[in-house]
Amino acid sequence: ASEIGQDDKEEVRDYFTNTGFGRWNKIYSDDDSVNAVQKDIREGHAKTVETILSWVDEDGDAQGQTFCDAGCGVGSLAIPLASRGAVVTASDISPTMAAEAQRRAAEELPASSAALTTFQTSDLCDLSGFYDTVACVDVMIHYPQEDVNEMISALSALAKRRLIVSFAPKTLAYSLLKKVGEFFPGPSKATRAYLHAESDVVAALEAEGWTIKRRGSTASKFYFSNVLEAVREA
């Protein structure tokens, strides 16, 4: 089990189980009652997911491959992966998120694809198993760099050949934006947001023996995320 960052984890789990669940469940949907900030975040996040799916599609290798989606939220990545024939194990530290992902998978996927998915509640640092690909999307933003290093190490132990992680890049402009407190939508800024230097994330991946193969970046007014695909060199 993880030693550090327990306070951060408790806070993040409570947020995404309660207040944050409703807010993010709505952002990650097509409910048109979202405000302009939430809509911007929805569209930015959709681009990050599309980037990852475009890599998977370019490689043409989802069918029959095992994927672990750690911090799966409502299943925005897990569900399209399963629809491509991947065997998906998705988990989230928030039980309400994991349950919503499972509900959506049952609703949106044909029974044959839904049968390829498993959803569970778990801190990503406590996961076990060994998967062709491990993905962890827009989760690192909730943790400081030392926790991110530990998370990358935990995720690396689960990943056979590919690890996909996204994070909010630390740039001057975004550091200022975060300072003005515009980062989280709605009146309650209930979670802290941490930005990470890409060089720190790459260093953590390289320390675990990964090589960066592809990079993507999405930036809009209120959403910014860089995504890295790391592979093990044969």
Which stretches of the chain bind ligand SAM, using CB under 6 A?
9, 12, 16, 24, 28, 70-73, 76-77, 92-94, 97, 123-124, 137-139, 142
| CB closer to ligand SAM out of 27 and 62 | 27
CB 229 within 8 A of CB 212: yes
What tokens were used for 158?
């689960």
Residue 87's contacts (CB-CB under 8 Å, 6 or more residues apart) are: 64, 65, 66, 67, 116
Q: What phi, psi does 66 have (nearest 5°)? A: -95, 135
**Minimum CB distance to ligand SAM smaller for 75 or for 233:** 75
Q: Quick one: 29 or 171, whose CB is closer to ligand SAM?
A: 29
CB of residue 48 to ligand SAM, shortest distance in Å? 7
Q: How far apart are CA 182 and CA 29, in angstroms?
A: 21
Q: Nearest approach, Cβ of 113 to ligand SAM (angstroms)?
A: 18
Q: Looking at beta carbons, which residue is closest to ligand SAM?
A: 73
Sign of CA dihedral 233, 155, 54, 115: positive
How far apart are CB 234 and ligand SAM at their closest, in Å?
A: 28
Closest contact distance (angstroms) between CB of 194 and ligand SAM is 12
Give me the helix-helix angle, 36-59 and 19-27, nearest 10°: 60
Which C-beta is closer to ligand SAM: that of 51 or that of 65? Answer: 51
